[in-house]
Structure 1
């Protein structure tokens, strides 16, 4: 982009409707929020004026919601200062969303209104310099100030303090004064005013704590200096005094008596006193859980001793060795990491156990690369990363990310192939008019090639999903023996003209019920048998054996000579198969067998090659059709977890 005219384009349009105003407000936020806009100053001034005018049209709540959206860049301190002057919700959203450098924060904070500075205390990612400036400016507390007490509340507190002072001549001397100053909970039970009661009986009447009051009376020792309360009755207040005052006066005295008794019982039982003092503002909020260390970077010297690590773990790991020190006369290292270190080769997925501080103790996995001097190529050690091993049963994140990248690539490749196939079908079917037969034949060939390419893409995507644990064969019920028999006869008819064939032998009779949907089971069986048949040479016969044992259906296949001669039977290839009418797929027999192996693993089975034979083992659902087998279901679920 040689000329950035986005701001001029936005200002050229008038926001005639409400939706247009909101859209233009978002556009101006995105353009003005970029620190390096580098445009004409007159356009910038016009943009600020337009932003202010739009702010008057759009409600504050909507503007705050648009400012808080994560889809735009907010790197401009000028925009932060502008929005901080708006309504509180807009200012809060802007200062919570701004992504500024430390220098920008230090220059912006003194310019902010005092109200807006308080919003910054809600952030935990501010640079250290910004925090220092906030402390210097006195922005220390995120809580709201205590409300000013009214005249009635002040008078009630003073009268309550006088009453507590009068009662403090007896057992209250042994009570913590901080407890006596704490206001007691309001009394919920009504007080009978028909008779006059002594103070010592207030806790035995309609009190909400009769048992505690009785125990308080029993706990007073007559021989001690602590005498019981005076039996003189309490004066009845004049009729002009409201009833709530009487109830409040009695409830405070009753609560104090009960707390005195509770204090004596706790002291005798050895229970530590409970801090009933009020908490500070926001003091009741739980502390955030500290996240454990899941990984850290490191660098070693030539001897394998860690000389640098991330600051959070540096004091705990610096000085530790990747591998034990070797001495003269020691045998060659057996450990893979020690062997790679001695050869100065990369270290990948190497297990390592660390001891020391609790944060780093346990199992780790190391990925590291050797580093050499630019001049002379001298070995300087390793640089890499420690990471915690993935929990058992979890899919490897790297494998899942790789599979996701493959699926995204296939999605991009399908678009042009679908377009080619569509245009070819238009020409071949003469949808837009007559076409020469030669063109129609070429279009039909292109459509067929595109269909084969799309089929190959589907197989690639299925393999990626299976190996990453995101897919598995559909559950159902099918007879594996009833699938293999007819399919073998069908393939035999294709191989007969070439004097080749499949020789199936059943060692056991009866059904073999699998916990797989019939369509997926047929696809799996066809993939294995068609791949082997496609690799058959003329006059070659492949022996197949179908049996069951240990709760598994077992299909053993003799490998064709063409596959036996290959170094890696599961390697992908693009050369055509020998058998006409039987295709192993776009990527050859090796890829088809690898896909079949992934499908078998996802179904809870095993596909392995040993002694020139390919063996497929699938767990049986039941020995008799129609009954469920809990064991096979468990094996299948465990195998599905292990494949990740």
Structure 2
């Protein structure tokens, strides 16, 4: 759109009916509330002036409660301070709806509040998502939540009119000395009747009703005071009687591990748990928005600008020793009933379990990969589910052509999810998040079975992996049977699938005192690669597919599994060697252990 002529188009039409007047009022709200007109544009200024006049004219025909309902609707954006100032001059219900609906920046609020009528400023005190600057400005202007404070003279008169209490004889040493400077003033404020039997008002016990607070608020204050006193008391202090030997018990330096918080629309923390609140309230989670700063935007700022959930975002806190350090932020955006953005609710937690200890770069990258995979699994799983619904005709009959397409989509989704599982497994293995389980497995038996399965597919091309399990004999390794079979299949299927026609690979197993070595020749397509673990070669036969991301990724995953089990996978002299540790004698199955000894 080169020219925005929406406002001129709306003003060109005349509202001849009540429905037309309501429609045009909504159109003016939408256009004026979502656009800032440049002051140097004379044509725009004249159109805006005409729009204000038209809006006032329409307001005469539309009842105030209906206009207030239009303002409160969630289908338009209210970002104009000029529109808020204009609607603030309308009826109270319209002004209240406008000032509670407007979503302005801190600078706009600071400039708008002094322009508002005095009666309209009080509506802003009902909001809890205003920037700190706007709240401070309202405080300076004397705008409070529930009317003006109680005058001191009236409070003094009510205290003086209170019925006299029976005289209590306080101990002589507890009586405070009289202050000569304040005696004339006190005498002037007290009534003329004798007050000898009355307790002085300044020493009367505090009554919640006199301070305008309820019993509940007074109880809450007592609970808060108890918590402050309890936190200030060292928890590890021995309360049993001790000899006065001059020790001074120092309270422990408490390090905060986590706390809940809420942030306003500008990204500033406006609430936190009572213990943490004085140390973090007012802290900005995001920098002010400026032009041309998308390159160095942090993940937290990126999520905040797009109103997305914040997950595992790094954020440093500075200040008191209890909160200083690096934190992880998890938060969710919050919205009002009208659908307007109201800030974030979330929680801070320390990095790891060792206070401010940072994660290694590899662990942080693996964590980002796991987060990405988690976000990608959701749509792929949904696609797979809908495809299976169509293919199985769960919601009704479907043409066979559609069922065939749905079956192909479901199969592709399953392969994608399998690839995601491999990525997630590699990230966890390389960072030590998971380990391969130990056990006792006959390596020669598994290699023999897998080479036979591969040979049945590759026999038509005169290719395969040649291995003699009888010559190798039983070779037990310290690996869980399922994990061992998955590892051997990944290795041999990757090598066998890359064999050209007529190419035969030879595999052998050797052992020493501590480990078993499975060696296999590399196919010609991998020998030509500079880095085998970075090769993207695909299998020649689609019936044998060891992974979604090519041979290099499959070998890298096999190497990570071998290292997690205590072995390794190395490539040298045009061959690949897999080493796995031998188990202790107690981990072998008795029958197979006897067979191994007999074969030896």
Given the two structures, how large is their TM-score scaled by the length of structure 1?
0.42
Query: Radius of gyration: which is bigger?
Result: 1
Given the two structures, how large is their TM-score scaled by the length of structure 2?
0.45
